[in-house]
A and B are shown apart, each in its own frame.
Chain A
Amino acid sequence: MKRLRKYITFFSMRVRCELQYRTAALAGIATQFCWGFMYILLYHAFRRTDPSAYPMTEDQTATYIWLQQAFLAMFASWSMENDLIAQIKDGTVAYELCRPMSLYPMWFAKCMASRLSRALLRFLPILLITGFLPDGYRMVLPPSPLHFLAFFVSLVLAFLLMVALLMPAHIAVFFLLNESGIRSIFANLVDFCSGSLVPLPLLPAGLQTVLSYTPFLYLQNTPYLIYSGYVPLSAAPRYILIQCIWLCILVPLGAWMMKKGLSRVVIQGG
């Protein structure tokens, strides 16, 4: 517990920092509402055109979209930690190495904290308001409390998985010294493959099979589909297990990359 305390301090620092930007949060919520409506209207149009080809129900679609908007900050692929990248580029990462904590867990915690703090301000209003929208646009309750439990576990794992995927993207800056290329490749890849551009059930079946062998399918897509009952409860443990397996692969991989990256750092004094 004692070892955890410094991370908790980190986190509360971040949340208090983020709370200063309430207007930004409000603007974000407004934007996300418009975005959510737009996507729901779009997918309903496809559904109207050919109901037999559309795999989800109206409620499932709306719920998927609203969950996505509510937890957007947690899974935002575009936002990388700018101060971490700046540290790598200007060499202040050397100071960080002097601290009596290892770098990978610290960066992991920082990344989690800034995402969670942004999401904390935004998700409740969105979920509350969208729960009262008219039929077909409403965010519905999960079929059973067990669904909710599975959703919650899977959401936490998906979030950890997202941060574990983000770490190598940050660490790659050690090798390339420029983040713009990585950012756009990473963001587009993750956005497309994790269902944040198009809900994954709407993609061709072959592509979904391919994605099921990558970690991307197990990001936000998995918890949202468990919540709405699209993934049956009996299959949920399998998804959760795969999420755990990917975490066990990606976290050591990131830590290893970090070690390699740090071995290249040359401190020039000054």
Chain B
Amino acid sequence: MKQFKKVPAHRLYGTFFSMHLRAAMEYKSSFLMSFFGMTLTSLASFFAIWLLFDRFHTVDGYTLSEVLLCYSVILMGFSVSEIFLRGFDTFAGQVQSGSFDRLLLRPRSLLFSVLVSRMEFARTGRFLQGILVTAYAVTHADIVWTPARAGAYLLMLLGCCVFFSSLLILQAGVCFFTIEGLEVMNIFSHGGKELGSYPLDIYGSRPLILFFTFLVPLACAQYYPFLYLTGRADCGLYALTPLWTLAFLLVCIGVWRIGVRKYQSTGS
């Protein structure tokens, strides 16, 4: 019997990536429409921030460019998770229709199979917009850039990507228990995106920050490194808090694993 050589995961991922990309390009007009639609949505929320600052100029001592720095890093992290973890985002459908059963038969890890099952390139519009807003914010904010601060910014971006990706995995994991998608999970992902558009302390609520530090580590991904970046906090630990989102990722994967173990097919 012929032995098949196992393709390394990164090459397999590349194959799926180009497959999804080509598939999206087959329907160019539809792709462009949802691309612009997505961009328009985040453009509206950007415009809202802009106009509020037109009236108020600052909020709790934060300038427009500082707030935009917060907003753009969240936007980029959120859209990265939406582009690449679309399979987890729409996972409820797979459990309901029973097509998850097919993935169980594949000779790859389940996380990998779900990861490559869907990609949503139309969301790149938001990411590009995030880059543009970042460019504006970085050139207009009074930040004295040092290597440490640049590193903090990169960690912040990484933290946001990991944070929103973890939430999507958690959301998919919860589907095993509830079968249907849970709208409540949107409070954390979309709510986190909205909340994180501004530095978290402007809301003036201590429990809110504690919640988003210890239970859902949005503050670790973005708020604390942001304080370090803008010189409001000197302690280097503030710049390292995004690493904590990796622990959150592990917890979310844990929930997913428990879900898989108790999974009973809904049938087709």
Contact = CB atoms under 8 A, between A and B. Distances in A.
B144 interface: no
Contacts of A184: 34, 36-38, 40-41
A28 interface: yes
Contacts of B59: 45-46, 49
A9 B19 CA distance: 49
Contact of A27 (B44, B47, B182, B205): B182
Contacts, number: 94
Contacts of A38: 191, 194-195, 203
Contacts of A191: 44
A199 to B, nearest CB: 10
A204 B43 CA distance: 18
A66 B57 CA distance: 26
Interface residues of B, number: 37
A265 interface: no
A30 B48 contact: no
A35 B204 contact: no
A89 interface: no
A19 interface: no
A192 B48 contact: yes
Contacts of A34: 187, 191
A31 to B, nearest CB: 6
Main secondary structure of the interface of B (DSSP, over half): helix
Nearest to A32: B187
Interface stretch (A115-123, A140-148, A175-183, A228-236): A175-183
A181 B187 contact: no
A17 interface: no
B183 A27 contact: yes
B204 A44 contact: yes
Interface residues of A, number: 34
A180 B204 contact: no
Interface string A31-47: 10011001001101110
Interface in A35-67: 35, 38, 41-42, 44-46, 48-50, 53-54
Interface of B: 29-30, 33-34, 36-38, 40-41, 43-45, 47-48, 51-52, 54-60, 182-184, 186-187, 191, 194-195, 198, 202-205, 208
Interface of A: 24, 27-28, 30-31, 34-35, 38, 41-42, 44-46, 48-50, 53-54, 178, 180-181, 183-185, 187-188, 191-192, 197-198, 202-204, 207
12 contacts: A31-B183, A31-B191, A41-B203, A41-B204, A41-B205, A48-B204, A53-B55, A184-B40, A188-B44, A192-B48, A197-B44, A202-B55
